[in-house]
Chains A and B, each alone.
Chain A
Amino acid sequence: MAGHFQKKVTTKQDIPTASLPDIIFMLLIFFMVSTVLRETTVQVRTTLPQAEALTKIDQKRLVSYIYIGPRKLDGNRLGETGVQIDDALVEDLGNVRTIMYRKLVEQPKLIVSLKVDETSEMGVVLDVQQELREAGTLRINYSSRREIPS
């Protein structure tokens, strides 16, 4: 009887590797889908403030970003405050209205995420908000980092 069992044990012990590429491909596709390649270069410094009462924005496609902060100049110097939408600086704040209005027409559920440098003055932020009200893009989000408990 014992001999009978031993025979069975000595069958092939290889793990089938034929499906390995499929598994890897599955992972690959997951990461390909979830990857967002950075498409804009930010021309202003935005060190975000810290906050506790945070909400998450789950749907990235609804979000449009406005960057406000000191302009990055050559040689690590910082210039005066600039406002950037997508990949261009907005020189005249009056243009924010038209740009954002166009975006709202394309995406009626638009959320505007304000990435504002913590050293910026409220004046610029309030001016931009006033423009957003004119455009009708009322849902905003003050982008901030999670507070590190000290």
Chain B
Amino acid sequence: MKIVLCVKQVPDTSDIKWTENNTIQREGLESIINPYDVYAFESALRLKNKYKNVNISALTMGPKQAEGMLRKLIAIGVDDAVLLSDKKFAGADTFATAKTIAAAIKSKLSDFDLIVCGQFAIDGDTAQTGPSIANFLDIPQVTYVKEVVGYEDGYLTVIRELDSGFEKVRVKLPALICVLQGEFEPVRARINGIIHSQQVEIPVYGIDDIGLSVEDAGLKGSPTYVNKAYRAPQKETECVFVESCEELAECIKKCGGICE
């Protein structure tokens, strides 16, 4: 089975600093692998550990520095990787991003059986790119995947966690899944993996390599655009501090919580 693992480098949103003009200070903003993509990786790795002949190719779109993230993934179990990097990809919304990634998969990794994505990326948090890639490739998708149960005769069985319950679903491959956080033991790099990660060549593809035109990608290929961006307004409330639990219970009562 050939798995394409889609990953994204994101700014560490827990550590954002603001300039005097209320714009995000991008310099020195640390990039991390999107936390949900780690779960996607672990789901792919479980399949690799469970079945024979599973190959995982990681794919990302981003600046040249994203190569470091790909090498780290190779050190912990990914087999090979592809980097999509081109100034013409910049400013892409989810539509253009998905179109670019789908074009790359079609032209470079077309013999895939399964595409694995994280359910969200913590920077944009749209949860749209995965389903959008699936649509461009005309394959089914399964979102909110909590657990991959198994793979048999060209079908993958997964469990989805939805608002109202859990759904066990069987999907015909090729397909795309979006993975939620699950219970995984963190994977440590093994010495062979580290050596492999340093030796393997990671091809970098630009817009011409994947057969897209300038109108298809980046800002130009994006149906949406940011009209304005501003710092989120802070709710200003004067907190009344209390000292004792009795006072706190009184506050809870005042706020409509009745201790019975």
Q: Do A and B bind each other?
A: no
